[in-house]
Amino acid sequence: MNNQEIIAQLPYSKPFLFVDEILQINENGVEGTYTFDENLDFYKGHFRDNPVTPGVILTEVMAQIGLVCLGIFLLDNSFNRNASIALTSTEIEFLKPVFPNEKAMVISEKIYFRFGKLKCKVIMKNEIGEVVCTGIIAGMVISK
């Protein structure tokens, strides 16, 4: 399965699809990017006159790229296509704000994938390479 096929398998669509591209992916991790379009609705009220990307959206971007894309890749190689990954837990530390029109890179490293559970260490960096948030995200395989 190539990178575009993985993105096409994601169970999301715009405006809730937060994956622009997968730069690399293998059995140990994934790297991908997303650019935060200034026209996304949540910027209208978070925060007034100084829009900042909400932490829940940063977490979702990290989960879509760092957990779900990797899970789809791993399932294609070790399970079957009748399963997907559902988020079970997150522990994220937010270090810097992310503003409209910023491009973020997500780097995910698999901690383990066993007994139907995928756990990853995930980092998000801004365009100049600064870490904006980091944490652990876990999910489990569910049947479709």
CATH of the domain at 14: 3.10.129.10
Q: What is the pLDDT of residues 47-101, one digit of tens each?
A: 888 999 999 999 999 999 999 999 999 988 554 567 778 899 999 999 999 999 9
**Domain region containing 53:** 3-143
Residues in the chain: 144
The total number of structural domains that make up the chain: 1
**For the residues 24-45, what does the mean pLDDT come to?**
96
Q: Is 46 assigned a catalytic role?
A: yes
Catalytic residue of the set 46, 117, 119, 121:
46
Does the pLDDT of residue 6 top 60, yes or no?
yes
116: left (phi over 0), alpha (psi -120 to 50) or beta: left
pTM over 0.85: yes
d(CA 84, CA 76): 10
